[in-house]
Chain A
Amino acid sequence: MASMSSYESNINKVNESAVDRIFMMGNTAFLLVITIIILLPLIFIVSASFSSAEAVIAGRVTLWPVDFSLLGYETIFEHKKVWNGFANSLFYTFFGTIFNVFMTIIAAYPLSRQDLVGRRVITIAFIFTMLFSGGLIPTYMVVRDLGLLNTRAAMILPTGIGVFNLLITITFFRTTIPPELIEAARIDGANDFRTFGSIILPLARPIIAVLALFYAVNTHWNTYFQALIYLKDQELFPLQLVLREILIQNSIDASMLIDIEDLVAREGLRELLKYSLIVVASVPVMIIYPFVQRHFVKGMMIGSVK
């Protein structure tokens, strides 16, 4: 990045031609249009969530809240199912991510060591699963035979190691830890466990951050498929499955709407509460990601090194 700004400043010394000025204006316009296209739906959803049920059902909301109201949010906060889903998702994301990161690191370090006999075979065995898998039903049968169906473990154990994440971690170790360092530790009498614990792990902190993010967001918080096939018990459902019931299947506990006599108002609240739910479900990740996006970018960059 630093090198880029230096070449930009060099170029700026040369006067820009008319063609370039027109091009840059077009370019800026293009990016503005893209940004607006991304933002419009988001603004609409947020505005609707802060409007009154009547305004929503009458289709009066465009890009600003109409008849400001928090009714949608109040209704959600009284909904036990949503909270239960939220708590379950936190549980799966927290323990699942710890498990994923632990497994990935202890696999990646040995596989990054050039002197390990069998390194290639094991790495290829991992990569092969990216290209071919046993399929949905055979995997389901394994989970079933292990007695994991309808347990919290079914949301965690099968996720194990993401091969892409494993590969970027191997690359990270190979490019940041010189073999001389490991050799020096050995000469000083440290065994591999000790080297791993007191030299490798502290150096691995940046990659651990990247992995934790990838796993937490992509493998746990935002997914519903594992839960759909492995869980039956409503009490265990993660947030995404609860959202699916409300947003997609349009099934909302009648008890949430019972106080409202009028059919139209009831319909209005039903729609309003969906907008609020969309906002509530996305806020945790939306708050965190601007602070961590540079780690994501870093992860992608490590991944792009072949």
Chain B
Amino acid sequence: MGDRSHVEEQTLRLWLRIRRNWQLYVLLFLPVLWLIVFRYAPMYGAQIAFRQYSPAFGIEGSPWVGFANFIRFFNSPKFEPVIINTLVLSFYSLIAGFPIPIILALSLNQVKTRMFRNSVQMITYAPHFISTVVIVGMLFQFLHPRVGFTAVIAQSLGMQPPNWMGDPGAFRHIFVWSGVWQEMGFGAIIYLAVLSTVDPALHEAAVVDGANRLQRIRYIDIPGLLPTAMVLLVLSTGRVLEVAFEKVYLMQSPLNLGVAEVINTYVYKVGLLSPILDFSYSTAIGLLKGIVGLLLLITVNHAARRLTENSVW
């Protein structure tokens, strides 16, 4: 008897709390509706990966085919190159792009002259605000085999002007290093923010103990950055299958497709660009990518927590 009235009382109290805040739920109505329509409805629709979708039958009406679409991808000659290209491009970007913003932040943090510091920051942030289309357009102009900057330099040195944009061997380097060029300044912001929260007393004590600047970077600044760096590393490892579609797609040409076709561009071409649109096949590849990405994130996060006690959750 006592238990039951206790439960009833709790339900009543919960109900009162919900009713007291009813206006907050009104505010949340549109955002939640948006979330359901544009984010969760597609997850429901992703079931066509296991069907042979045809527009005439709709999502629920199309026949089930089990894992046929996935098996088709595993057996496709595109499977291996697409996966390898994606992983190579991702890890290359990660290895080149991850440490440089940290180094830049550590270096900037040492600068005492405010003017110099602000100017360097302002200039290094700038490329982040240039659109992908313009960046790739710039690459084409800058590396143009006749009128580009590299051609001008090569000619003045009496060398044969290179045609890097047409060279499949150069694709990965151009993609990765132009990315580093564009994002290193902006990527440093978060580390600079963290460095500004390092306790000044630590530095003062180290100076009193006779530590030089390099030693203070090594023993105070870098340990201070580690948790943030770890979280960002975990997040980017979880996204290795999501190579920047926008940029890769723009940089593709018939010449470099052998190294430049990645999962995301392939999904787009199969689903929306080929003469016979195959929604189910494209969705299956995308779903596979999504699930593997999620498992990867969970695994890496778990490993990071056990090894370093820093993790995203």
Binding site for B on A (CB under 8 A): 1, 3-8, 10-12, 14, 17, 19-20, 23-24, 27-28, 30-31, 34-35, 37-42, 44-45, 48, 56-62, 103-104, 106-107, 109-111, 113, 115-118, 122, 125-126, 129, 131-142, 146, 157-158, 160-161, 191-193, 196, 217, 221-225, 229, 240, 243-244, 247-248, 271, 274-275, 277-278, 281-282, 285-286, 289-290, 293, 296-297, 300-301, 303-304, 306
Interface contact A161-B31, CB-CB below 8 Å:
yes
**Stretch in contact with the other chain, from B33-41, B78-86, B88-96, B166-174:** B33-41
Total contacting residues, chain B, CB less than 8 A: 101
The residues of A that contact B200 with a CB separation of less than 8 Å are: 3-4, 6-7, 10
Assuming the contacts A244-B133, A244-B250, A247-B134, asked whether A35 and B124 have C-beta atoms less than 8 A apart, the reply is yes
For residue B142, give the distance in angstroms from its CB to the closest CB of chain A.
5
Residue of B nearest to A297 (CB): B189
Q: What is B's interface to A at a CB cutoff of 8 Å?
A: 14, 17-18, 21, 23-28, 30-32, 34-35, 37-46, 48, 59, 104, 107-108, 110-112, 114, 116, 119-127, 129-134, 136-138, 140-142, 144, 146-149, 151-152, 155, 181, 184-185, 189-190, 193-194, 196, 200, 203-204, 207, 212-214, 228, 231, 238, 245-246, 250, 264, 267-268, 271-272, 279, 282-283, 286-287, 289-291, 293-294, 297
- Is B127 touching A271 in the complex (CB atoms < 8 A)? no
User: Told that A131-B297, A274-B141, A285-B129 touch, could you supply 17 new A-B pairs with CB distance under 8 A?
Assistant: A7-B200, A31-B120, A35-B120, A59-B146, A62-B149, A107-B31, A109-B27, A116-B24, A134-B39, A134-B44, A137-B282, A138-B42, A139-B38, A142-B41, A222-B132, A247-B134, A286-B130
Known: A1-B196, A271-B141, A304-B190. A23 touches B147 (CB 8 A): no
A274 x B137 contact (CB < 8 A): yes
| Smallest CB separation, B155 vs chain A (Å) | 6
A217 contact set on B, CB distance < 8 A: 129
Residues of A contacting B: mostly: helix
Q: Report how far A12 CA is from B110 CA in the complex, Å.
A: 12
Check A271 against B181 for contact (C-beta < 8 Å): no
Closest chain B residue to A49 by CB distance? Answer: B141
B95–chain A nearest beta-carbon distance, Å? 19
Known: A137-B283, A278-B138. A142 touches B45 (CB 8 A): yes
Count of A-B residue pairs with CB < 8 Å: 293
Task: Please measure, in the bound complex, the distance between the C-alpha atom of A243 and the C-alpha atom of B133, giving whole angstroms.
Answer: 7
Are the C-beta atoms of B30 and A39 separated by less than 8 Å? no
Q: How far is the CB of A228 from chain B (nearest CB, A)?
A: 8
B42 touches A134 (CB 8 A): yes
